[in-house]
Amino acid sequence: NAGVTQTPKFQVLKTGQSMTLQCAQDMNHEYMSWYRQDPGMGLRLIHYSVGAGITDQGEVPNGYNVSRSTTEDFPLRLLSAAPSQTSVYFCASYAGVFNTEAFFGQGTRLTVV
Amino acid sequence: EDQVTQSPEALRLQEGESSSLNCSYTVSGLRGLFWYRQDPGKGPEFLFTLYSAGEEKEKERLKATLTKKESFLHITAPKPEDSATYLCAVQPPRGDFGNEKLTFGTGTRLTIIP
């Protein structure tokens, strides 16, 4: 099992550009989440999904969109990149409410200039 | 609003020198408290889940404990490979969507000196 795979690992964007961060898991987990990690702020939840076709907003959703068309994939879209979105992004998945051991991807380091 | 505070921010220990990391939290109806380890440039790695006050869990040199207001991660006779940032997170009661909104602390950066 590969676990949770994120691509790309590094990305530099210009202000106003759009892009999609990819996240895939091969553990058949229902629950998937996107976090951003900033120095001194801890991990903050952007969006999450409790199954295919079901998503909801987290703590810091503005400027990001998600969709969940399959159990395996949970892409995060930046609509119009801003310097404030410079961060490290992590995708996580876990099996369900009674099994909350979350598996994280390796992260995507995004810089917006 | 759920809050998680970890202390100290950074801790340097000699190899073999035992210590504890603290995670204090304010959340109504805690469903679970989680400990993760994060190495530089990597994603967090799950260590423990604690569900109720008085619960303890162990893994190698690590032991996590939980009270009604805080959790401790005890490190016994640490080795250099235990150097990492240790994150604490809390999970509030389940809401309409199962309430998957984990709230993380900012972590304790632990360095073990050989």
Amino acid residing at A20: T
Distances (CA, A) of A43 to A29, B23, B52, B89: 21, 15, 24, 9
> Are A88 and A70 spatial neighbours (Cβ–Cβ below 8 Å)?
no
A102·B34 Cβ contact <8 A: yes
> What is residue B96's predicted lDDT score, i.e. its pLDDT?
47
Mean pLDDT to the nearest integer, B45-50: 93
B104·A44 Cβ contact <8 A: yes
Whether residue B50 lies within 8 A of chain A, CB to CB, comes out as no
What does the DSSP assignment read for B59-106?
ETTEEEEE-SSEEEEEE-S--GGG-EEEEEEEE----TT-----EE--
Distances (CA, A) of A64 to A24, A47, A103: 18, 8, 22
Q: Which residues of A touch B (CB under 8 A)?
A: 4, 31, 33, 35, 40-45, 48, 50, 54, 56, 58-59, 90, 92, 97, 100-107
Tell which of B100, B101, B108 to mutate to test the A interface (max A CBs under 10 Å): B100
What letter does residue A74 receive in the DSSP assignment? -
Mean pLDDT to the nearest integer, B28-33: 83
Amino acid residing at B50: L
Contacts of A40 (CB under 8 A, 6+ apart): B106
Indicate the range of A56-60, B27-31, B101-105 predicted with least confidence. B27-31
Which of A4, A35, A97 has its CB closest to that of B98?
A97
Q: How many CA atoms lie within 13 A of A76 on its CB side?
A: 34
SS3 of residue B24 by DSSP: strand
SS3 of residue B9 by DSSP: coil
Rounded to a whole number of angstroms, the distance from the CA of B27 to the nearest CA of chain A is 16
Whether residue B91 lies within 8 A of chain A, CB to CB, comes out as yes
Determine which helix (DSSP H) or strand (DSSP E) holds B32, and give its type and residue range.
strand B32-38
- Three-point CA angle B106, B113, B58, nearest 5°: 60
pLDDT band at B3 (very low <50, low <70, confident <90, very high): confident
pLDDT in tens, A39-67: 888 899 999 998 999 999 988 999 999 99
- Rounded to whole angstroms, how far apart are CA atoms A38 and A35? 10
Rounded to a whole number of angstroms, the distance from the CA of B47 to the nearest CA of chain A is 8
Whether residue B100 lies within 8 A of chain A, CB to CB, comes out as yes
Residue A98 confidence (pLDDT) above 70 = no
